[in-house]
Chain A
Amino acid sequence: MTIPTSWYLVVAAMLFGIGAYGVLTRRSALIMFMCIELMLNAVNLTFVTFAHSLKDIGGQAAVFFVLVVAAAEVTVGLGIVVAVFRRRNSTSVDALSELKG
């Protein structure tokens, strides 16, 4: 007997929760990106778990596309962080409050 599907799903839910907490509480844009990666990976784990349990390769194909999108997102996101850092000399998201009403 292999590991029940629900164990992996619970771990993935906890991983997603930790990532969400990080996005909500950390101030550095870099760390927030890392937490977004955590959340994406939690979802990837869910996809692979369901691909395994439902015997459908589509779940693994979805993870492949999530990987590509994550790579693109990190590239552009870090480009934005670098561009913001050059102007503000800080990666803190609190430094970007011009649009505050």
Chain B
Amino acid sequence: MIATAHTTADVLVFVVASLLMLIGAVGVITLRNPVHCALSLIMTFFGIAIAFVELNAHFLAAVEIIVYAGAIVVLFLFVIMFLGVDRHEDVGVEPLVGQKPLALASVSITVVGLIVMLAHSNWVSGATAAATAGVPVKGGNGNVKELGSAIFTTYLYAFEITAALLIIAVVGAVLLARKDRIVETEEEVR
């Protein structure tokens, strides 16, 4: 790989991915219709997937599209349609006085603080001991194999616990949906 030949393309990909992410994110917090918010969220996820490919995380890019854009947003859309709340929310109403300026101020302080911290730390240069601690990432044609072996060896217990977590989540969701239905039918019988 010639170092300079890739710069323009890399910058272009970065700019496109960042614009997709940020425009999508602004859409999520400004659009009034929840369905449009969910579609903006998909746009953000596509931007993040592009950034993941650029950062040599091909498996995670695919999973980002399949799990986030495919499953989670569809679940959101399903709930929106199911509840029939796809009407416009009043964004202008402000029950708490000064909530938006305060939120904007605290968020700006956080983001500016993070950026200042980035500028003054040596994380970005990678000059830390952590650089040699873990399993190395191979560049180029993806690193699905390394990610798989890391998850099934170093992080095996965490991986097994996620299985339990998913089962608990599914049982919890079914219980939450089911319990209320029983209460409702009892009320209807009365």
Contact = CB atoms under 8 A, between A and B. Distances in A.
Contacts of B4: 1
Interface in A4-44: 4-11, 13-22, 24-28, 30-31, 33-35, 37-38, 41, 44
Interface in A30-65: 30-31, 33-35, 37-38, 41, 44-45, 48-58, 60-61, 63-65
Nearest to B91: A26
Given A3-B11, A17-B111, A75 B80 contact: no
A10 B118 contact: yes
Contacts of B90: 27
Nearest to B31: A31
Interface in A46-88: 48-58, 60-61, 63-65, 67-76, 78-83, 85-87
A78 B128 CA distance: 41
Contacts of A53: 124, 126
B76 A33 contact: yes
A98 interface: no
Contact of A11 (B22, B99, B108, B119): B22
A34 B28 CA distance: 7
Main secondary structure, interface of A, reads helix
A92 B99 CA distance: 16
A9 to B, nearest CB: 5
B6 A2 contact: yes
B57 A55 contact: no
A15, A50, A64 — most chain B CB neighbours (10 Å) = A64
Contact of B52 (A48, A54, A73, A85): A48
Interface in B96-138: 99-100, 103-104, 106-108, 110-111, 114-115, 118-119, 123-124, 126, 128, 130-131, 133-137
Contacts of A69: 162, 165
Given A71-B67, A79-B173, A60 B7 contact: no
A14 B22 contact: yes
A86 B134 contact: no
B96 to A, nearest CB: 9
Contact of A28 (B34, B44, B104, B135): B34
A75 B67 contact: no
22 contacts: A2-B10, A7-B14, A16-B114, A18-B22, A21-B104, A22-B28, A28-B89, A30-B37, A30-B80, A41-B68, A48-B60, A52-B57, A55-B136, A58-B154, A60-B57, A70-B72, A71-B169, A75-B172, A78-B173, A81-B79, A82-B83, A92-B89
Interface of A: 1-11, 13-22, 24-28, 30-31, 33-35, 37-38, 41, 44-45, 48-58, 60-61, 63-65, 67-76, 78-83, 85-87, 91-92, 94
